[in-house]
Amino acid sequence: MRMIGLAGWSGSGKTTLLANVIPRIVARGLTVSTVKHAHHSFDIDRPGKDSHTHRMAGATEVVVGSLRRWAIVHELREAPEATLTMLVAKMSPVDLILVEGYKGGSHPKLEVYRAEVGKPLLHPGDPAIVAIASDAPIPGIRVPRVDLNDVEAIVDTLLRHAAPVGGMPVAAK
């Protein structure tokens, strides 16, 4: 398995970009999984569903299975947040893992940048950023820039810079 992340400030277009690149990568015959970091509490089940009732009753893990999919919800119950390394270790093998968020991690990352967001570039302080996808030229950057609208070039960049999971330090929140 190989892995690369998309990092950038909120509103830069990471999720939209992933929604565009995943089908292109799959069309190249590769299997893809994603890891998404949430900065807040989130739920994938909701009140009124049995899985939610089980979790609220105190279950540490709730596994939901059906004909089409399965999911495990793991409640931390005051335990520390799982690291990216821990989460990736729980995933089934695929050709490529795309990580959205975890911008502080040491895994290779493509920075998604839009000047209109009003935030600074991440790449000057992050040696793991291998390229920047932006909607406009950026003078003085030390890494290659790819046009944010050129999805095929972005896919090429992601595949070129993805690193083997077993050979990289990825222990970051």
- For 126-159, the pLDDT digits (tens) are 999 999 999 999 999 999 999 999 999 999 999 9
Amino acid at 76: L
Where b means 16+ CB within 10 Å and e means fewer, 28-40 reads: eeeebbebebeee
Backbone angles phi, psi at 18, to 5 degrees: -60, -40
Residues with Cβ < 8 Å from 38, sequence gap 6 or more?
A: 101
Q: Domains of the chain by range and CATH?
A: 2-40+80-167 (3.40.50.300)
Residues with Cβ < 8 Å from 14, sequence gap 6 or more?
A: 6, 7, 8, 100, 101, 112
pLDDT at 168: 58
pTM listed for this prediction: 0.88
Mean pLDDT over the full length of the chain: 90
Q: Mapping DSSP to helix (H, G, I), strand (E, B) and coil, where does residue 156 land?
A: helix
Q: What is the rounded CA–CA span in Å between residue 84 and residue 173?
A: 6
Within 10 angstroms of residue 27's Cβ, the number of other Cβ atoms is 9
The yes-or-no verdict on residue 170 having pLDDT over 70 is no
pLDDT at 173: 44
Q: Express as a percent the part of the chain with pLDDT over 70.
A: 94
